[in-house]
Amino acid sequence: MISKKSVTNILALALVTTLLNGCVSTIIGTAVDATIEVAKVPFKVGGAVIDVVSDDEDEDDD
């Protein structure tokens, strides 16, 4: 037969796992958001450079 201590340990583990599930998903979501922002930076910088270069060319045409 399963001892009372084993049942208590199993229930405690299940409770902790359930409670930490939200924390872990928040941490993973934050890490993914940061990774996406880091991946966007080169495109933003490239777009800004293109805007500056194209604005200079437009001013020369006038």
Task: Tell whether 16 is covered by a domain.
Answer: yes
In a domain, 47, yes or no: yes
In a domain, 58, yes or no: no
* Boundaries of domain holding 35: 8-53
How many domains are contained in the chain? 1
Residue 10: the pLDDT is 92
The answer to whether position 1 is within a domain reads: no
Its pTM stands at 0.47
How far is residue 55 from each of residues 41, 44, 60, measured CA to CA in Å? Answer: 21, 16, 9
> Is pLDDT at 59 greater than 90 in this prediction?
no
3 in any annotated domain: no
Task: Output 32 or 2, whichever has higher pLDDT.
Answer: 32
2 contacts: CB under 8 Å, gap ≥ 6: none
pLDDT on residue 1: 73
> Does residue 37 lie in a domain region?
yes
Q: For residue range 8-57, what is the model confidence (pLDDT) as tens digits?
A: 999 999 998 888 888 888 888 888 898 898 899 888 888 888 888 886 55
Alpha carbon separation from 7 to 2, 3, 14 (Å, rounded): 7, 7, 11
In the chain, the N- to C-terminal Cα span, in Å, equals 91
